Amino acid sequence: MKYPVIIHKDDDSDYGITFPDLPGCFSAGATIEEAMMNAQEAAECHIEGFLIDSDPIPVAHSIEEHNNNPEYNNGIWALVEVNLDKLSLKSKRVNITMPERLLNSLDYFAKKHGQTRSGVLARAAIQYMASHQ
């Protein structure tokens, strides 16, 4: 999942990063590159807290949806990739039923993107639940 971030810098300070969709999640670094690396780790830790608390993961909105917010006028937009698979807690085997045609499409998609069937289904479920809160 990709989260938009706003990169900002005040005089005599490091670069700061704010996540509009992850309230309370911030990062910083001496360079933009360092700040972005730190931002990915900050986002993963923040989302891991949601998972541990069994709270829904906030939806990542588009940059366009945040662009008109005056709070983010003086910065540079970027995207931070968060690998939800790295954050998953203990896995549990389940048995599901779905149409064979859908299963074939799912397997093709997973293989094409270097993922597993379970990983694609888990990410799809997380994104669906987050967007239908």
One domain, residues 94 and 80: no
The pTM of the full predicted model, rounded to 2 decimals, is 0.64
Sheet of 2-9, strand order:
26-29, 15-18, 2-9, 76-81
Give 10-residue mean pLDDT values along the chain (133 residues): 93 93 93 94 88 83 90 90 75 89 96 90 79 66
One domain, residues 109 and 84: no
One domain, residues 84 and 96: no
One domain, residues 46 and 71: yes
Q: Is the dihedral of CA 132, 5, 85, 87 positive or negative?
A: negative
Domain count for the chain? 2
Domain with 95 in it: what CATH number?
Answer: 1.10.1220
What is the domain range of residue 44?
Answer: 1-88
One domain, residues 13 and 72: yes
